[in-house]
Amino acid sequence: MAVDWTQLPRELFESISKCLTIYADYLRFRAVCHSWRSSVSIIPRHLPPQLPWLMLPFTQSLQSHLAFFDLSAQSLHLLELPEAASHCKRRCGSSHGWLVILGETPEVLLLNPLTRSKIHLPPLSTFPYVLSFNYSEVGKEYELRGTFGDIHRRGLREMRDSFIKKVVLSSSPQSDNNNNKNFIALAILLQPDILAYCKNGDQSWTLLHRARFFCEDVIYHKDLFYAVDKQGSIAVCDLHSESPSVSIIRMPIESRGDMRYLVNSGDELLMVTRYVELHYDDIAPYLLNAFYKTVRFEVFRMVWSGPQWEKVTSLGDRMLFIGENSSFSLPASDFPGCLGNCIYFTNDDCEFSLDSDFGEYDLGIFKIWDGSIEPLPCYQRNPQSQVHGPPIWVTPNPC
């Protein structure tokens, strides 16, 4: 006799669903029939960290949609995200699966591209350096106090593009974990070079004066925020108490590099140094486009007994994902088709990202064992297609 798979005991459905570790597999499981779908939760809160998608630059032809490249399936997902899909919007990084969206208003928006959930952080006008905001002052809506007390004005687009470098979250804002509901957002400010934070429910941002110039990158690791400066020194920020504290660990290293990233890799804290060189556009040389391109990386791990940075010659099975996202690592063996001992990288919005308006982006897979760089097979460059914003790694997170 044929088995009626729709009549399995409910507890068996739940047991099977909890064995699924890939979000796409969970969706397929729920799509089998009504009985299967109604027997398990819409949101799979048991899932381990997922392989990230690469959010591709916005193009006018997609209108209200953004394209995400799935490394495992080697395919594109088109998601309708009018809150983020616009040339007027800046997608200012991602953290725990949430995009940070800035526009031509003071609004700072957290957006989960998978669920369309939205959370508003305190607006740009609440940063302590912002003295006032007035829409009627066209082209100079913001009045700011400079590092040395000077007063100057900025327009909406200038604030959108050059005030915040990246925002990093302590956890996913909508996780069931009580600690996660009290998430903290830490922003790297470009002008001036300082860090600012807000806790869930705050009405304004607070500056971390002791962490001035620690603005290369920030990561959340073992209940603390760590920020790195250009010399490799670390600011350790404990922001959970009512009186946040910052301690400085001076650890200059011989390797200078051009950019630095901090990576949470299991129990270890890693620092990645990136080296770039100036290149010229060979597809449309008449435009005289110049851009910086990555040539190599170096990886260091924190030795707390020193403390000191120790150079790493192999990541083993781990792969690192760096760029405008909150950097992280995953075991390659958990994801077929992925390479361990590699750095998957995209470019950042920083002084070295002089990207062409015609689609030249600095991204690829750096192989630590031989120093070679393999291109990411996500899209073909089209010199006639204007794009907006760099590609960003985004971890699919249904909660």
> DSSP labels for 171-238?
S-TT-SSHHHHT-EEEEEETTTTEEEEEETT-SS-EEEGGGTT--SEEEEETTEEEEE-TTS-EEEEE
Tell me which residue of 361, 362, 321, 323 sits closest to 344, measured CA to CA: 321
Does pLDDT of 190 surpass 90? Answer: no
Q: How far apart, in whole angstroms, are the C-alpha atoms of residue 353 and residue 350?
A: 5
Determine how many CB atoms are found less than 10 A away from the CB of residue 242. Answer: 4
Asked, for residue 178, whether it belongs to a domain, the answer is: yes
- With bands split at pLDDT 50, 70 and 90, how would you rate the model's confidence at 286? low
Please choose, from the candidates 262, 244, 387, the residue with its C-alpha nearest in 3D space to the C-alpha of residue 327. 262
What is the distance between the alpha carbons of residues 330 and 179, in angstroms, rounded to a whole number?
23
Q: Is residue 29 part of a domain?
A: no
Give 359's pLDDT tier (boundaries 50, 70, 90): very low
Q: According to the model, what pLDDT value does residue 176 have?
A: 58
Nearest to 238, CA basis, from 219, 250, 225: 225
Tokens of 183: 């998430």
Per-residue confidence (pLDDT) for residue 353, from 0 to 100: 44
Per-residue pLDDT, averaged over 110-139, amounts to: 94
Please determine, for residue 154, whether its predicted confidence score (pLDDT) is greater than 90: yes
Interval 319-350: pLDDT, tens = 999 999 999 999 999 988 899 999 999 987 54
Establish if 20 belongs to a structural domain.
no
pLDDT at 381: 52
Using CA atoms, how far apart are residues 159 and 144, in angstroms rounded to an integer? 10
Domain count, the chain: 1
38 within some domain: no
- Yes or no: say if 291 and 360 are a contact pair by the CB < 8 Å rule: yes
Give the structural domain span for 205. 48-394
Q: What is the CATH number of the domain that holds 84?
A: 2.120.10
CA dist 316 and 365 (Å) reads 15
- Please tell me the distance from the alpha carbon of residue 141 to that of residue 154, in angstroms, as a whole number: 6
Residue 119 lies in a domain: yes
Assigned token pair, 93: 């990084």
* Residue 25 domain-assigned (yes or no): no
Residue in 363, 13, 8, 395 with CA at minimum distance from that of residue 169: 395
Q: Is residue 368 part of a domain?
A: yes
Residue 355: pLDDT band by 50, 70, 90 thresholds?
very low
Does the pLDDT of residue 287 top 70, yes or no? no
**How many Å apart are CA 315 and CA 29, to the nearest integer?**
34
User: Is the residue at 6 inside a domain?
Assistant: no
Residue 354, pLDDT score: 39
Confidence (pTM): 0.89
Residue 357 has pLDDT above 50, yes or no: no
